[in-house]
């Protein structure tokens, strides 16, 4: 059975529901029920005895976009593992782009970042190229950048705190850098961090990286290893916005794309296109009275 949850503009909602019903039935997807979740108020739940998740996502997009949604092949339950991207997901910035501004190279670096997140460039080579452009930047610029540029995404702290309060393991995994990810994780309450390390010599960036690269494969492996540590059939959730998040989004029980690039969005069965990160909690069915932070 398909379970779809949707948060959308309520204007003309009944007419759009009926149009969506007709569109789904034309594709061979029957509806078993449509109702508001009592404890969430704005969250619509749609059920179907059929299993064409792609058709459901497509029809919801056609009739309700922009909207926040989650489509699952079974009852939606609370996850035990949550793995999240950092840049443009848990924070509103791309750290390397902001850091490049201190070197007068933001436009150049940001253009590479955008192409990498769209999936147009190999992630590792794009990362090494951007880091190389920061050669000789004082390490103190990172501290200044953190203090003046890096801001948590709306709802991030509430999402993480509420997940933790219900026993969910929370992991921040980023293709960015521990210099940023460690303080961000502490601020938001993540329990564990996986990221890249900038190489520093004589209090300046050397233009290189220290250790192995955290790429899309590492992000997926982190999700799977965290789940494996808790046993079999663990319900997992992942969220990200770019191409290097796609493998972990696809591997998660609930893979969310947050105001994401098209390729990442297409890979996800959960999409936040309209609201902030607390909409994830609403789609999971967590009542606002139980939110933390």
| Catalytic positions, written as ranges | 85, 87
Nearest residue to 147 via CA among 88, 84, 99, 201: 99
Cα separation, 63 vs 13, in Å, equals 10
Nearest residue to 173 via CA among 225, 231, 118, 112: 225
CA torsion 121-269-253-89 (nearest 10°) is 50
β-strands 236-240, 81-84 pairing: parallel
- DSSP H helices, the chain, are 13-26, 53-64, 95-101, 106-117, 123-132, 140-148, 156-165, 178-188, 216-229, 246-251, 262-267, 278-284
Cα separation, 170 vs 164, in Å, equals 7
């Amino acid at each position: 059975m398909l379970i779809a949850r949707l948060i959308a503009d309520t204007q003309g909602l009944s007419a759009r529901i009926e149009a969506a019903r007709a569109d789904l039935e034309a594709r061979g997807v029957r509806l078993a029920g449509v109702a508001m979740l009592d404890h969430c108020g704005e969250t619509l739940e749609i059920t179907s005895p059929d299993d064409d998740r792609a058709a459901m996502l497509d029809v919801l997009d056609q009739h309700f976009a922009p909207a926040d949604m989650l489509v699952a092949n079974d009852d939606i339950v609370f996850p035990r593992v949550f793995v999240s991207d950092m840049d443009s997901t848990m924070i509103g910035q791309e750290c390397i782009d902001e850091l490049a501004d201190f070197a007068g190279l933001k436009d150049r670096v940001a253009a590479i970042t955008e192409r990498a997140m769209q999936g147009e460039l190999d992630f590792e080579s794009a990362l090494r190229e951007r880091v190389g452009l920061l050669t000789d930047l004082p390490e103190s610029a990172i501290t200044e950048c953190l203090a003046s540029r890096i801001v948590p995404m709306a709802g991030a702290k509430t999402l993480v705190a509420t997940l933790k309060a219900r026993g969910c393991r929370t992991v921040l995994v980023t293709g960015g850098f521990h210099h940023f990810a460690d303080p961000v994780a502490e601020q938001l309450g993540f329990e564990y961090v996986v990221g890249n390390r900038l190489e520093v010599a004589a209090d300046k960036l050397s233009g290189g990286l220290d250790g192995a690269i955290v790429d899309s494969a590492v992000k997926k492996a982190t999700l799977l290893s965290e789940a494996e540590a808790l046993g079999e059939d663990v319900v997992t959730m992942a969220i990200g916005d770019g191409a290097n998040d796609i493998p972990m989004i696809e591997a998660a029980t609930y893979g969310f794309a947050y105001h994401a690039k098209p390729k990442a969005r297409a890979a996800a069965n959960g999409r936040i296109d309209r609201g902030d990160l607390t909409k994830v909690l609403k789609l999971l069915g967590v009542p606002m009275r139980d939110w933390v932070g």
